[in-house]
Chain A
Amino acid sequence: MIMNAFPTALSTEWLKFRNASLPRLATIGIVMVPSLVSPLSALSQGDSSALSASNWIDYLDLSAGTVATGGVFGFGLVIVWLFGREFVDGTITGLFGLPVPLEKLALAKMALFILWACVTTLMLAAALVGVGAFLDFGPLDGESWVALARFVTVSVLTAMLTIPFSLVATLSRDYLAPIGAILGVVILTSVLADAGLGGWLPYAAPGLWAATSGFVDPFTICIQLLNVVIVSAVFVGFSTYAWKRLET
């Protein structure tokens, strides 16, 4: 009998994921923090501030900017945990010598992470709409829906940008190095973006797109966001290959 390895890997990863505390706390953090921080900062600023929001578009783009930075940490913690925990807990030895190969387990972790990031993003979007309604921004119109779609895209792309840290967790077999890498990438991106590289840096592209409220050359932004997808896809391949070649 040839078993279907990927669905099995996915179901076992899901069993661990739904019972662990960290993904639950990360979900709550990712949904709650921008839902609370964005309206508070929007309302606490004067009309002249860049952080001021008196309508749906400004409010959602402000929230997208919050997620583009904070999300790297929130989503990053989960992907680092997903990959690093097998080494830290010592369970990696039990994952060898199975009819489910290691690369399928790594792919299942990736798939689960992306699914979770999408669901968490939708939960956050719903929460933001709820808070926006409470702030009396009025009904969502055509432009507001575009801003909402932009917010969802920024959040999902931010989650995808944390995929490279799965490779750092795999190679270092620890949590500290990938968390350090997240900090390093955020700082380096900030410095290089200020130096003029801007949206051509994959880690800066989603946030800068949100900051312009979509008023940028569509061709340029498509290329810049495509870079994000390419970086993520390449690192899915690298991490999966690292698991395939793993020794312990």
Chain B
Amino acid sequence: MQVSLELNGVTKLFAFGDGVREVDLTLARGEIHALVGLNGAGKSTLMRLMLGMKIPDSGTVRLDGVPFDRVPLERWMRVGHLIEYPLAYPELTTRQNLLLSARLRGLTRRKAEEAGNAIIEKLNLNKFAGRRVGKLSLGNRQRVGLAAALQHEPDLIILDEPTNALDPAGVILLRNVLLERAAHGATVLVSSHHLDEVSRISHRITVINGGRIIGALEPGQPEIERAFFSLVQTHSETA
């Protein structure tokens, strides 16, 4: 297993004791890794720690074996993420938003336009390409945000509940793009409440509860929801 991103003993605590505690987690190349847990379990916090949005109180985050604070800026050109809100400005059209995010990822203008055209096709955004994002539905805005995160063909993809607000067609399109990226060796981490969906596409499923990693689920296993709740309940009772 080729490790792409690694967390060792990572702790980040907030007021009232929320946060994540002593988390060890590795993300491997070519794998889709799902992070599942109840609301407030610590999924988003963990993802934010992986992207530098939060600094851990203790523990280390390594990207390609390099400690986080020493990761060269160019490495971020090959990362794509969507955490909570899409990087999509309401005053810009879909195409302008894609150009903006591709440029921020370091693509030249010409390559950014090519990447934008390609992802517009892949995520079926043609109809909305010239429309201002502020006029789009929540689901289509999410699709623009996903397009922005994926268009530059990143080799590390971190998506927090990416299927939020997506219609079934959007879910299938996203699934295809993620499977394709993983097949090309990309590391993919997604958090989700949709256990059936993550079970269908993931290579590994990690369960988080109360800020701690409490176990794993087998992708494709029958009765996955029952297994998830059993893990969570056991942990909650022993905690």
A interface with B by C-beta (< 8 Å): 1-3, 5, 8-9, 11-12, 15-16, 19-21, 89-91, 93-101, 247-248
Contacts and interface: CB of A to CB of B under 8 A. Distances in A.
Interface of B: 48, 51-55, 73-77, 79, 81-92, 96, 99-101, 103-106, 145, 148, 158
6 closest Cβ contacts across the A-B interface? A94-B87, A90-B85, A97-B51, A3-B106, A93-B83, A20-B91
B99 A99 contact: no
Given A19-B92, A94-B81, A99-B77, 19 more contacts: A1-B74, A2-B73, A3-B77, A3-B106, A12-B100, A15-B92, A15-B99, A16-B89, A20-B91, A89-B85, A89-B89, A93-B48, A95-B87, A96-B53, A96-B81, A97-B76, A97-B81, A99-B75, A247-B55
Given A89-B89, A91-B88, A100-B104, A5 B54 contact: no
A105 to B, nearest CB: 9
Contacts of B73: 2, 5, 99, 101
A115 to B, nearest CB: 19
22 contacts: A3-B77, A8-B104, A12-B100, A15-B96, A16-B89, A16-B91, A19-B89, A20-B91, A21-B91, A91-B89, A93-B87, A94-B82, A94-B85, A95-B87, A96-B51, A96-B81, A97-B52, A97-B76, A99-B74, A99-B76, A247-B53, A248-B54
A248 B53 contact: yes
Contacts of A101: 73
A16 B88 contact: no
A94 B106 contact: no
A247 B84 CA distance: 14
A3 B74 contact: yes
